[in-house]
Amino acid sequence: MESKWVKAFYKRQFEMFAYLDEYSEHYLDLAKEIEQQVNQPFQSVLEIGAGNGHLAKTLASLGKDVTTVELVPELVDFARQDEPKGVTSICASFYDVDLNDSFDVLLYIDGFGVDGDDEQLYLLKRISQWLKLNGVGLIDIYNPTYWKKAAGQTMSIDPSKSVLRKYDYDQENHRMIDTWWEEGAPHDTYTQSLACYKSSEIENLCLQAGLKIVDWYPGGAMDWDEWTYYPKSSLKDCLSYRIKIVKA
């Protein structure tokens, strides 16, 4: 069900950053932020689109039991290295993985929208099934207002300046386009395309899936005129925002 670009892009993205420091402080800050946003006691966590597994390991260090679902085998293999007690890494698609458990918390950090509205609605319905009756979900959503302004911008994204990216925006389908390449190889590109949703649009999708948004957490934004990134912005202007969902 996933778009064809998904495996190739995230595998290559991982390879491009394999030599970089893993920014452990970032993951600890993120884990503590998640605890604050959940704002109730919890033990079991399901993280989908889990990437390299560092967030799961950090949550486990805080005493949580974490199950992860990640599509790309190379990322799962990496995550399983020194996998601590309390983490279970599954290599599968979140569209068809068979999970018999329900969870206190569901996380989808940075990546929602890989396919179309129908697929995202199907995923949200699965998320509703995975949550316990009083469970909480946290999902990052891309903001169309920001990405329309970002179209055409190019930047380096690693300290060595050897990896570059360019942003574009698909006006017809309301999707951000993010193309990566290595310096010296401008024609060897890898592109991700993620759906962007206004707050009213994602709220409607959630309601169709039996979920209710109970809080909103705006993320940061790049000021393209000043060429400065601000870690906190408004819901209107942010790059992405996090929604807190419960069963409706």
Among 50, 55, 88, which Cα is nearest to 72's?
50
Q: How many domains does the chain have?
A: 1
Which residues span the domain enclosing 62? 5-142+197-220+236-247
Q: Which residues contact 56 (CB under 8 A, 6 or more apart)?
A: 45, 47, 50, 66, 68, 79, 87, 89
Is the residue at 125 inside a domain? yes
Among 137, 133, 150, which Cα is nearest to 205's?
137
Residue labelled with tokens 């469970």: 135
CATH number at 109 reads 3.40.50.150
Is the residue at 171 inside a domain? no
- What's the predicted TM-score (pTM) here? 0.95
Is the residue at 210 inside a domain? yes
Is the residue at 148 inside a domain? no
Q: pLDDT, tens digit, for every residue of 142-194?
A: 999 999 999 999 999 877 778 999 999 999 999 999 999 999 898 999 999 99
Burial 63-100 (b: 16+ CB within 10 A, else e): ebbbbbbbbbebbbebbeeeeeebbebbbeebbebebe
Is the residue at 128 inside a domain? yes
Is the residue at 180 inside a domain? no
Going residue by residue through the chain, which has 248 residues, state the pLDDT in tens, using 9 for 90 and above. 567 899 999 999 988 876 554 556 789 999 999 999 999 999 999 999 999 999 999 999 999 999 999 999 999 999 999 889 999 999 999 999 999 999 999 999 999 999 999 999 999 999 999 999 999 999 999 999 999 999 999 999 877 778 999 999 999 999 999 999 999 898 999 999 999 999 999 999 999 999 999 999 999 999 999 999 999 999 999 999 999 999 99
Phi-psi group of 184: left, alpha or beta (phi > 0 → left; psi -120 to 50 → alpha; rest → beta): left
Is the residue at 187 inside a domain? no
Among 222, 75, 217, which Cα is nearest to 157's?
222
Is the residue at 22 inside a domain? yes
